Amino acid sequence: MYFKSLNTVKPSFQQSLRQLCQYNIFKVSILLESLCKIATLVGHTAEMLGSKDSVDDQFIEMIDDLVVMSEKDSELAEGLKWIDLQSQRNGLTFYEMAMIILRKHMVERRAKEWLREKISS
């Protein structure tokens, strides 16, 4: 709801400009804080999953299990075919592409959680 001021005196240009600048600085600081938190999150996720070159045996086994399970799950099979297509387009192995997609998913999920917490606070 919008409330008009009872004060009929219009603020001067300098006062309006100062308020606008303060407001914009406040908004920019919130944006920068958000970007820093997202960058930190990306860094932690990369550490947790390792770099592109560190697709390890445990991850490969997990993906291989998904491939076996996809024989009975057409939706999973379609998803794995899409990952395979993306890996070919990007010149990556299937496992590297799966790792990248997993990283992206985790970052997006955590960013959404952070935003929900920020909004509810």
The Cβ of residue 103 has, within 10 Å, a number of other Cβ atoms equal to 17
pLDDT digits over 84-101, tens only? 999 999 999 999 998 898
Q: Which residue has the tokens 């997006």?
A: 108
Q: How far is the C-alpha of 95 from the C-alpha of 105, rounded, in Å?
A: 15
Token reading at 107: 């970052």
pTM reported for the whole predicted model: 0.52
Q: How far is the C-alpha of 49 from the C-alpha of 106, rounded, in Å?
A: 10
pLDDT digits over 26-62, tens only? 665 555 565 555 555 555 545 555 554 567 888 888 8
Residues in the chain: 121
Q: How far is the C-alpha of 15 from the C-alpha of 109, rounded, in Å?
A: 42
